Amino acid sequence: MRNLLPTLLFPFSLSAALFSACLAQDSLGMNPEIIVTITLTTCGLWIWLWEFLLPYDKNWNRNDQDLGTDVIHIMVQGVITKVAKPLYILILFPVITYLSETFGNDKLWPHHWSLLAQEERSGQHWRTQPGLPQELSGAIDRPL
């Protein structure tokens, strides 16, 4: 039982966090960015606490004197994420506009096809990609 709890802690905690986030979005109508921040922080602290009390691997709890590095990493990732979102929009908007004007909207994706035909075309695209692992290629063709 002691080995089972650390193994199941992360998937159950993450599932509960995602369920709570969806519930908060639907019932409270909160801003998704706030919900994600609260959910990830709460779930991260919860998992950190249990990882400290009941570690999956005791070697992971050694002090490597890298707390400062971890804090800097979190701060830099947060800033990069906030900065990258507008940059993606600034870069991709002109590209998509150019492609749409050059080739026309009808040429970029067959939106006039039925949804089933579009899904099948999308599936054919992924099945024909070079370098697709055989296991994945077979999984695409199998019914659910």
- Per-residue pLDDT at 140: 47
Three-state SS string across 68-106, please? HHHHHHHHHHHHHHHHHHHHHHHHHHHHHHHHHHHHCHH
Please answer whether residues 4 and 30 qualify as being in contact, where contact means their C-beta atoms are separated by less than 8 angstroms: no
- Per-residue pLDDT at 2: 62
3-state helix, strand, coil in the chain (%, to 5): 80, 0, 20
Asked if 23 and 75 sit in the same domain, the reply is no
Asked if 52 and 86 sit in the same domain, the reply is no
In which domain, by residue range, is 143 found?
109-144
- Per-residue pLDDT at 72: 92
Asked if 70 and 32 sit in the same domain, the reply is no
Asked if 100 and 116 sit in the same domain, the reply is no
- From CA 57, how far away is CA 3, in angstroms rounded? 10
Ordered DSSP codes for 9-20: HHHHHHHHHHHH
How many structural domains comprise the chain? 3
Tens place of pLDDT per residue across the chain (144 aa):
667 877 888 888 888 888 888 888 878 877 888 888 888 888 889 888 888 888 877 887 787 888 889 899 988 888 888 888 888 888 888 888 888 888 776 666 777 777 777 777 766 655 555 555 554 444 444 444
